[in-house]
Amino acid sequence: MSGAIEFDEKEAAETERSYLTADIVATRAGVMELLAPGPGKRVLDVGSGPGLLLRDIAGAVGRRGLAAGIDISESMVAIARHRCRDLTNVEIATGDATALPWPDAHFDRAVSTQVYEYVPDLAAALAELDRVLKPGGRAVIMATDADTILFNSRDNETAARIREAWPRHCARPFLPRELPQLLGEAGFSVIDHRVHVILNREFTPDNFGYHMARSMSVYAAKQGRISKDEGKAWVASLDRMSRDGGFFFSMNRYLFVATKRPPTA
């Protein structure tokens, strides 16, 4: 059984819901600060998903700039096109991060958040990112390390099985720890790094931890690591913990700022 999550219509809609939480709104603000897409700039979002960041970028670059997105999932592209339908400075392509449909040195800036974890041929994707950026152009890349996802739990056996299953949902669940070196090998200089910590003490749909718990338990059940009922019981136990003050969820999202090195003479 393949372990990789596919962003079909249902998964795309759930991702969109979870990315509208205050936690991810704050993460996006942090990404925008590092990306600093000024007026008139051409900016690429690789794996643009539901288009939330694209909208922010389009606002920042203005009518003379360009916010371009690409995503492998047609469902995600449909959501993003709908979200950006009133904007004339947005273009969104369906395609793979390893084959970007733009010419060399087309973009001033590029961003990719929570995407390269899903790309098996990461060297090819980073080579493409390097190709479409102007020399000196900036890239901001964000990824989560699966080992940083923490839940307080009173059903430790189910929690352990869910935790063990989750890294299989993508090709590179521990990408942040190797990303700076991979960026260096792909022709970038890593000039800055940050970590964005999400910490929730309440189990509510307004918090990202709520969506992660549901996604992780559904995934573990699909992988046959727990039964559906065990997953539901674990989620219900988190809800009870929220009411008695015991709920705790935390995860780290790592951000790297890199610039494309100029060609050597």
Residues lying near ligand SAM in the complex (CB under 6 A) = 7, 15, 19, 47-50, 52-53, 70-73, 76, 96-97, 113-115, 118-119
Q: Closest separation between CB of residue 37 and ligand SAM, Å?
A: 15
DSSP H or E run through 113: strand 107-113
Exposed / middle / buried, residue 150 (Cβ in 10 Å: 0-12, 13-18, 19+): middle
Q: Which is nearer to ligand SAM, 132 or 241 (CB)?
A: 132
Q: Closest separation between CB of residue 226 and ligand SAM, Å?
A: 22
Which residues, 6+ apart, have CB-to-CB distance to 213 below 8 Å?
Answer: 151, 203, 234, 235, 238, 249
Q: Closest separation between CB of residue 71 and ligand SAM, Å?
A: 5
Q: Closest separation between CB of residue 229 and ligand SAM, Å?
A: 27
Q: Closest separation between CB of residue 5 and ligand SAM, Å?
A: 8
Phi-psi region of 49 (alpha: psi -120 to 50; beta: other; left: phi over 0): left
Q: Which is nearer to ligand SAM, 218 or 241 (CB)?
A: 218
Q: Which is nearer to ligand SAM, 130 or 230 (CB)?
A: 130
Q: Which is nearer to ligand SAM, 101 or 135 (CB)?
A: 101
**Residue type at position 131:** R
- Nearest-CA neighbor of 129 among 89, 99, 95, 92? 99
Q: Closest separation between CB of residue 72 and ligand SAM, Å?
A: 4
**Cα separations in angstroms, 81 against 28, 77, 97, 180:** 19, 6, 18, 32
For the chain, the helix, strand and coil percentages under 3-state DSSP, each to the nearest 5: 45, 25, 30
Q: Which is nearer to ligand SAM, 108 or 128 (CB)?
A: 128
Q: Closest separation between CB of residue 52 and ligand SAM, Å?
A: 5
Q: Which is nearer to ligand SAM, 53 or 213 (CB)?
A: 53
Give residue number: closest CB to ligand SAM: 49
Q: Which is nearer to ligand SAM, 61 or 170 (CB)?
A: 170
- Backbone φ, ψ for residue 135 (5° rounding): -55, 135
CA distance 112 to 253: 12
